[in-house]
Amino acid sequence: MANGFINDNFSAIGTVTAGTTSYATTFDTNVAAAGVTLEGTTLAADGTNSNIDITITPKGTGSVVMSKVDINGGTINGITDIEVADGGTGVSTLTDHGVLLGNGALEIIATAEGATGKVLTGVTGGSPTWQDPASSGDVVGPATATDNALARFDTATGELLQNSDAILTDGGDLTIAGTILAAKFDTNVAAAGLEMAGTTISADGSDVNIDVTVTPKGSGSVVISKATISAGTITGITDLLVADGGTGAGTFTDHGVILGNATGALTATAEGTTGQVLTGVTGGAPVWAAVGVSVGGWTLIEEKTVTSDVTTLEFTTNVTGYDTYCFVFHFLRANTYPIYVVFSDDEGSTWKTGASDYIDTTGSAASRIYIGTTNEWDSYGFCGRMYLYQSPDSYRMALQSNLQSRGTLHAKAGVIEVALNNNVNGVAFIRDNGYIRSGVVALYGINS
C-alpha cells in the first residue's frame, strides 16, 4: 500500500473500513462466511467507460439478500414466478386473451379465451365461465308505432316488441287507456298534489279482502268531487255540514229531540221529563211542557198515555169551548197502518163514519180519515201535531194535519171538511184489526 492505494489484490480478515471512497473493479470474498455484508455503502460505477455494469453474484446456492429495496429504474429479468404475497402474479405465463382471476394468496389463474359472442358469466362459489347470453337473437319490432308509445314485449321469447296504448309524452305525462294494476300508487314529484282524472281504482288481486288507501301528504287533503258512496261506513269525519248532507254537529243531547236549523247545525232539545209533551211555539223551537200548562196561548185539555195495546183512543171530555184544537203526538205507535181519525158531535155516543161524512178540498168523500204510513206508525212512531178548527160554515169543521216522523214533514190529510150537525165535542183515534201500542197524545185548545 502506498499513499492509501493498494496496487495488487487486497485481502483482509475482519472488517475493512474506508474513510471516503474505495475504487475496485471487483469486490470478492474468500473467507469462510455465509456472504458479504455491505453496510452504509454506495456502489457506484465511476470509471471512464460510458457503460459499466454493477454485478453482485452470490456463490453456490447463496442469494443476494436486500432489505428495503427501492428500485426506481431499469428492468427486472431472470426472475421466475414472483409470488402474489410479494406483489407478483405467481406465474410466468398466462393464457392468450384469457381473463385473469384472483385465487387468494395463490398464483393468479386465467380463463380460456372467450369465443365470439360468449359472455363471462358468474358462478356462485366458483370461477366465472364463458357462456351463451340468456337470450340470443335480434329484437324485432313493428314497421310503425305510435309516437311516444311505450314498447312492450310480445310473447316470452324476448325477441319481439309491439306497440302499446300507454303514452309517455315528452313532458313526462303518462296516459294509459286500460287499467293500472299496482299494489301502491305514490308520487315523489315536487307538486302540490297527485291528480287522477277519469280513472277507476279497483282492488282486483287474489286476496279475499284488499283495502284501497288514499293518503295525502302533510296537511294536504284527499279531495273528492261528486262522490257516490254506495256501501261501507264513513268514520273519522267530524261535523259534516248540513249543506253537504250532514248534521253539522258531532254529538247530541241524550234523549233530546233533534230540530232543524235551516243550513246551520241541527240542534237538540233537552231530555223531556216523564209526562211532559213537546209543544210547538210559533216562530221558535218547540219546548217540553207539563200537562195542564198553557204554552203560547194553548191550554192543555186532556192527555192520554198508551202503555198497552188498545183499539181506540177517545177524547170526549171538555172538548168544547174552543174554536181550534191541537193534538200533539209523542211517539205514537201502532202495529199496522193506518190509524183512523173520526169525530163526534154528541160526546162520543156516535161517531161520524158515513160514506160522505169527510170531504176533502177536491170533493172526494170518505167515511173516515187516515194518517201515516206503515213504517212511520209501527217502526218509529209519530211525533207531531194535528189541528181541528171551525170553518166559515159553523156546522162544519175542518181538519189539518201536520205530522212529522224522523224529521220528514207529512201532510197526509190536508184540509178535510167534517160533516157535523153541531160543533165537534169528541175525537177518536181507531185502529181496525190491530192495536195502538204506545205513545202519548195531548189535546190543547185555543180561541182566536
What does the pLDDT average to over 224-234? 80
Query: What is the spatial distance between Cα 441 and Cα 412, in angstroms, rounded to a whole number?
Result: 18
Query: What is the spatial distance between Cα 422 and Cα 74, in angstroms, rounded to a whole number?
Result: 144
- Examine the pLDDT at 107 and tell me if it is beyond 80: yes
Burial class (CB in 10 A: 0-12, 13-18, 19+), 195: exposed
Kindly tell me the sign of the dihedral angle through the C-alpha atoms of 63, 64, 69, 75.
Answer: negative
**Secondary structure (3-state) at 375:** helix
- The domain limits of the chain are 242-271, 277-446
- To the nearest 10°, report the CA torsion of 286, 288, 291, 296: -30
DSSP 374: H
Residue with cell 457503460: 51
- Examine the pLDDT at 203 and tell me if it is beyond 80: no
Q: What single string gives the DSSP state of each residue in 88-149?
A: S-S-S---TTPPEE-BTBS--EEPPPPPTT-EEEEETTEEEEEE--SS-S--B--S---TTB
* Topology adopted by domain 277-446: Jelly Rolls (2.60.120)
Contacts of 41 by beta carbon, 8 Å cutoff, 6+ apart? none
- Residues 142-175 as b/e (b if ≥16 CB within 10 A, e otherwise) read eeeeeeeeeeeeeeeeeeeeeebebeeeeeeeee
Query: What is the spatial distance between Cα 37 and Cα 29, in angstroms, rounded to a whole number?
Result: 10
**C-alpha cell recorded at residue 389:** 178548527
Query: What is the spatial distance between Cα 295 and Cα 288, in angstroms, rounded to a whole number?
Result: 10
pLDDT band at residue 16 using 50, 70 and 90 as cut-offs: low
What residues are paired with 100 via a beta bridge? 110
Query: What is the spatial distance between Cα 346 and Cα 245, in angstroms, rounded to a whole number?
Result: 50
**C-alpha cell recorded at residue 43:** 456502489
Which of 41-55, 257-271, 419-433 is most confident? 257-271
For residue 86, report the phi and psi dihedrals to the nearest 5 degrees. -100, 10
Quote the pLDDT of residue 412: 44
Quote the pLDDT of residue 408: 42
**Secondary structure (3-state) at 85:** helix
- pTM assigned to the model: 0.35
Query: What is the spatial distance between Cα 209 and Cα 328, in angstroms, rounded to a whole number?
Result: 51
In the chain, the amino acid numbered 358 is Y
Query: What is the spatial distance between Cα 33 and Cα 28, in angstroms, rounded to a whole number?
Result: 12
pLDDT band at residue 389 using 50, 70 and 90 as cut-offs: confident
Quote the pLDDT of residue 290: 58
Give the lowest-confidence range in 139-148, 361-370, 397-406: 397-406
E-assigned strands of 152-308? Answer: 152-153, 161-162, 167-168, 174-175, 258-259, 267-268, 277-281, 284-289, 299-306
Quote the pLDDT of residue 212: 77
Helix, strand, coil proportions of the chain in percent (round to 5)? 5, 30, 70
Q: Compute CA distances 151 → 16, 137, 146, 169, 181, whole Å.
A: 87, 18, 10, 13, 18
Contacts of 124 by beta carbon, 8 Å cutoff, 6+ apart? none
pLDDT band at residue 134 using 50, 70 and 90 as cut-offs: low
Query: Are residues 432 and 394 in contact, defined by beta-carbon separation less than 8 angstroms?
Result: no
Quote the pLDDT of residue 21: 57
What residues are paired with 110 via a beta bridge? 100
Query: What is the spatial distance between Cα 143 and Cα 155, in angstroms, rounded to a whole number?
Result: 18
Query: Are residues 100 and 109 in contact, defined by beta-carbon separation less than 8 angstroms?
Result: yes
Quote the pLDDT of residue 343: 84
Which of 1-10, 14-23, 322-331, 400-409 is most confident? 322-331
What confidence tens digit (pLDDT) does each residue in 68-99 have? 777 788 777 777 778 888 778 878 888 888 88
